[in-house]
């Protein structure tokens, strides 16, 4: 015969009550853990790589300025991840180039091709019949003013810049969009050094002074990432006898 407590419940009834309470607590804990894992931890750990689309196109020159060629740049950025990403100040730069009139010797072509293949970060194509012997800065600026992109959200922009007709053989453009986990903890400074665009990262100190960030050593700490897009367009059709 089961022993009863003061309320008249048997041991089996009390045990069943505690089992039910335990089941409820376990289910609640599992639900909380699942929510945190799916909604917070997984999105935080998911890699973020902004999808960039960059296109260049030559358009009709304005009637009142036939000495210039108009180049249209279309660029779009999309957040393909499952979490919101924060954009740091970004930039783009366009250069005009002149193609060398004669191809270099065979050994130089092979050396340039070998250097390109061995450098995984080098996006310059090694070519025998297209060697740039000169490069001139044409235009530079920022891309987007947006501070963040939500999951699957995108932003786009179209702008036009101008170059003198028959002046350049090719125009090529580079665009950078850096991102960080917390834009309040990271600062970025863009600068021009001998026509080369560069950017450096800093952390703001409590006294307002900036301290440089070593991207190689501290990049993961700030979740620093960068999307890069490049494009080029030929202007050889403007050259005489082409």
At 11, the pLDDT band (50, 70, 90 cuts) reads low
Structure tokens at 52: 């960039």
The whole-number pLDDT of residue 159 equals 93
The stretch 27-39 carries a mean pLDDT of 57
**pLDDT above 70 (res 160):** yes
At 195, the pLDDT band (50, 70, 90 cuts) reads confident
pTM of this prediction? 0.71
The whole-number pLDDT of residue 143 equals 93
The whole-number pLDDT of residue 176 equals 93
Integer CA distances (angstroms), 98 to 57, 95, 124, 175, 193, in order: 19, 10, 15, 21, 21
The whole-number pLDDT of residue 49 equals 66
Is residue 96 exposed (0-12), middle (13-18) or buried (19+ Cβ within 10 Å)?
buried
**pLDDT above 80 (res 23):** no
The whole-number pLDDT of residue 51 equals 87
């Amino acid at each position: 015969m089961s022993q009863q407590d003061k309320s008249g419940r048997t041991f089996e009834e009390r045990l069943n009550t505690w089992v039910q309470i335990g089941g409820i607590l376990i289910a609640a804990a599992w639900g909380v853990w699942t929510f945190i894992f799916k909604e917070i931890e997984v999105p935080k750990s998911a890699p973020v790589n902004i999808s960039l689309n960059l296109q260049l196109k030559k358009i009709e020159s304005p009637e009142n300025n036939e000495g210039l060629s108009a180049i249209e740049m279309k660029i779009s950025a999309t957040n393909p991840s499952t979490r919101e990403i924060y954009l740091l100040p970004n930039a783009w730069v366009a250069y005009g180039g002149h193609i060398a009139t004669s191809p270099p010797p065979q050994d130089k072509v092979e050396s340039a091709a070998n250097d390109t293949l061995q450098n995984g970060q080098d996006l310059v194509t090694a070519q025998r019949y297209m060697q740039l012997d000169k490069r001139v800065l044409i235009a530079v600026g920022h891309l987007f003013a947006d501070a963040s992109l939500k999951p699957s959200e995108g932003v786009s922009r179209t702008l036009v810049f101008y170059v003198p007709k028959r002046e350049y053989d090719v125009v090529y453009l580079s665009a950078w969009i850096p991102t960080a986990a917390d834009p309040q903890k990271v600062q970025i400074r863009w600068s021009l050094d001998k026509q080369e665009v560069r950017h450096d990262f800093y952390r703001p100190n409590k006294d307002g002074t900036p301290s440089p960030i070593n991207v190689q050593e501290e990049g993961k700490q700030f979740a620093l990432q960068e999307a890069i897009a490049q494009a080029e367009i030929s202007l050889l059709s403007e050259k005489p006898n082409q």
